[in-house]
Amino acid sequence: MSDDIGAPAAISKVFLVVETSPSAQAPGKARRHAHIVAWLADRDQTTESLSLLPETVRNAGLIRRFLGVLLGLPGVIRHTRRGDTLYFLGLGEVHLLMAAAITAIFGRTVIYDACDSWVLQLAAREEAGAGARAFMSRAGAALQRIAPRRLAVSYISARDADADRAAGILARRAVHVIPPMLPETLRNLPEVVRGRVDRIVAGVDMRSFHNLSGFEELREGWESIRAENPGVVLELFGLGLPEVIAEGVIVRGWAPSLSELYVGNTAVFITNQGGSGVPNKLVEAVAARRPVVIHHRSMGLVEPGPWVFPYETNLAEQLSNLLRLELEPDASNYPRLAASMGDDSGSQE
């Protein structure tokens, strides 16, 4: 089977196989789950979700979850028939990739949603010194390479698919791209008003190494930024943040709603630097039509434009440039996801 980046062929019903029920999923997984359901519904395809694990083991260790998935898989196979289409919401979980590969052997049409590139994820984890996680990415890439050819794979962006293809783990395998979905609540958020940015917002999960380098650079440069722009406020949302950081910094903790994050003349600082996949905070900023400050290694995710400020070693300079900008609420200024990723901010297929 040759590589085919695009949408899965039209089918009437899809069994969406998940580790745990949607109500028990982490926010990122729940969002991807909802997106795939909506994406398939737009193509007149209904879905039925099948959980491999009970909610009681959702926070269990990897070995227990691995064994639980293998024990739950026979029930999924019995529930379906040869020729049925099953979509495994894997999100880089190796044990779910193994379950998808086994299911494909039983004559089902199986798509595994890797979401992120195995090799980009591996590089990011190795750079961060996350040894155990890097091992899992390496194992996933190896298993992907030897999985049955009938097992198709989907990604959140063409960038992620291309990286795995270049590494030779997708040869003669169907590949699909299901781009990120822009949250409807943010599409309807009032535009900025003519004037300057008075608030910078950054979403930071201190438990994730993807956020740490960007957050540290922002914290180190904030004093000089604040000195030049005494009226600007930095608001931090997320988990594990220190209570007090510096003057002009407000720590909000977990955000109760996306609309609260991006309201007003707000600019968005993307803490992720490189890595794999597409940061939710970037998708949200694009949906909210707010200026973004983003590391140069992530620039492949967004189209260059008047409201996109890439930085490498000049974060304070770029933030100062942003804060001097007179905002004009015009569609030509709004940031957009890169066309190569499959920006769904415009018309649907």
Residue 346: pLDDT band (50, 70, 90) is very low
* Separation of alpha carbons 90 and 33, rounded Å: 10
Asked if the model's pLDDT at residue 169 lies above 80, the reply is yes
Same fold, 13-178 and 185-341: yes
Q: Is the pLDDT of residue 135 over 70?
A: yes
Burial of 168 (0-12, 13-18, 19+ CB in 10 A): exposed
Task: Kindly tell me if the per-residue pLDDT of 164 is higher than 70.
Answer: yes
Q: Which residue has the higher pLDDT, 30 or 60?
A: 30
> With 90 as the cut, is the pLDDT of residue 143 above it?
yes
Look at the pTM and tell me if it is higher than 0.95: no
pLDDT in tens, 30-53: 888 888 998 888 888 889 999 998
- 294 pLDDT higher than 90: yes
Query: How many Cα atoms are found within 13 Å in the side-chain-facing hemisphere of 43?
Result: 17
pLDDT at 342: 54
What fold is seen in the domain 185-341?
Rossmann fold (3.40.50)
Helix/strand/coil for 25: coil
Mean pLDDT of all residues in the chain? 87
pLDDT > 90? residue 128: no
Residue 307 — pLDDT band, cuts 50, 70, 90? very high
pLDDT of residue 313: 87
Task: Report residue 9's pLDDT band, with 50, 70 and 90 as the boundaries.
Answer: low
What is the number of other CB atoms lying within 10 angstroms of the CB of residue 16?
21
The reported pLDDT for the residue numbered 130 is 82
What CATH architecture is 13-178? 3-Layer(aba) Sandwich (3.40)
- For residue 240, the model assigns a pLDDT of 83
pLDDT of residue 62: 79
Torsion-angle region of residue 47: left (phi > 0), alpha (psi -120 to 50) or beta?
Answer: beta
Q: Which residues contact 48 (CB under 8 A, 6 or more apart)?
A: 13, 14, 15, 16
pLDDT value at position 11?
58
Residue 10: per-residue pLDDT: 57
As a whole-number percent, the residues of the chain with pLDDT over 90 amount to: 53
Instruction: Return the closest-CA partner of residue 115 out of 181, 34, 42, 177.
Output: 177
Q: Which residues pair with 48 in a beta bridge?
A: 15
Q: Summarize the confidence of residues 267-275 as an average pLDDT.
A: 90
State the Cα–Cα distance between residues 188 and 183, nearest whole angstrom: 9
Task: Look at residue 348 in the predicted model and tell me its pLDDT.
Answer: 27
Per-residue pLDDT tens digits for 72-115: 999 999 999 998 999 999 998 999 999 999 999 999 999 999 99
**pLDDT tens digits, 193-219:** 999 999 999 988 877 777 888 999 999
Boundaries of every domain in the chain: 13-178, 185-341
- Closest by Cα among 60, 116, 65 to 89: 116
Chain centroid to Cα 148, Å, comes to 26
